[in-house]
Amino acid sequence: MMGRRVTLKEVAKEADVSPATVSLVLNNKPSRIAKDTQQRIRDIARRLNYVVNENARGLVTNETRLIALIVPDIENMFFAALARNLEDECQEAGYALFLSNSNDNRAHESAMMTNYLARDIDGMFLIPSLETYNHAHELNVQIADAHCPVTIIDRLVTSHVCDGVGFDNVQGGRLAAKRLLEARHRRFVCISGQPHDANSNNRVCGFVDVLHGHGIDDDDILLLSGDYRYDGGYGLAARVVEFGATGLFCCNDLMAMGVLERFGEMGVDVPHDISVVGYDNIMRRFGMLSNLTTVEQDVHKLAVRSWETLYRRIRRHGTGKECARADWVTLLEPRLVEGATVAVRR
């Protein structure tokens, strides 16, 4: 049988103070209560196994301390690592994080948003599905009707009704191109993600723009789509070799892993036959691709800035101020991480 919940009044009686005093101390509210009294109250609460009643506190503070996170694909290592880092940030601030997976489907995403908003959450993180790029107006309406702040992360589908935090993907593509040009390569393949993914398209644009700026003709650039999947990179490796490229840019590390696996089977020497640059630098967290030259998106930095952005809105909302559905878009700078997969062209 479960034990009876100890009440705040019982803690107050044991400490010989008022329930209001106990509430101030255990909820970490500013007060003039003596430090020794505060410590005595906390010690008694701990000894009695007192647990704050979140439902009751929520009625008083109008807060549930619950945050929702909707990701497109939890099996994607980047999103999995980001979710873990966001949870750490929320927990450190005293919030719990609920996580759901939309399977990159707008209908699922919309249903989950509706479900979470019905639970009176304090805020929401959303990494939109790929389908949402074609339904941006629908998402705008749903966010505008939300009772709590929403922060979009990574896939900045909309910037008109809420804050967004992501990386500068154009700059990331530029970094990859510059690194391969520095190694004196003159014929290139770029393997992108899905055709309607703006992040991938921006990486490609940055990559190609720098190549054009250094006199590389379109005849020496081949663009392929690998769907951000391991199999996509693996299956396109032969096309890269057939094209005669010596410089390869993969728009995520998972496709780079597939390409490198197939190159090994084909007897292609990386980096001396073909140099390879990936994107994300997420695989190192899982003990893989430690030697890959890649463009890093720091998931910890992304999580910290995303939480700071959402929490700022929650504080404003909690004080009765307008939720301020402005377009505060933050673009973080990616950086190139050197590995052993790029060498000077022979």
**In 183-229, which ranges are continuous DSSP H helix?**
198-213
Q: Distance (Å, rounded) from C-alpha 150 to C-alpha 141?
A: 12
pLDDT at 63: 64
**pLDDT tens digits for range 16-35:** 999 889 888 887 777 889 99
User: pLDDT category, 326, cuts 50, 70, 90?
Assistant: low
Mean pLDDT of 180-203: 95
Mean pLDDT of 82-91: 96
Q: Distance (Å, rounded) from C-alpha 242 to C-alpha 233?
A: 15
Mean pLDDT of 61-83: 88
- Residue pair 301/330 in contact by the 8 Å Cβ criterion: no
Question: How many CB atoms lie under 10 A from the CB of residue 297?
Answer: 26
Phi, psi of 203 (to 5 degrees): -65, -45
**pLDDT tens digits for range 123-141:** 999 999 999 999 999 999 9
User: pLDDT category, 296, cuts 50, 70, 90?
Assistant: very high
Q: Distance (Å, rounded) from C-alpha 117 to C-alpha 139?
A: 14
- Residue pair 121/68 in contact by the 8 Å Cβ criterion: yes
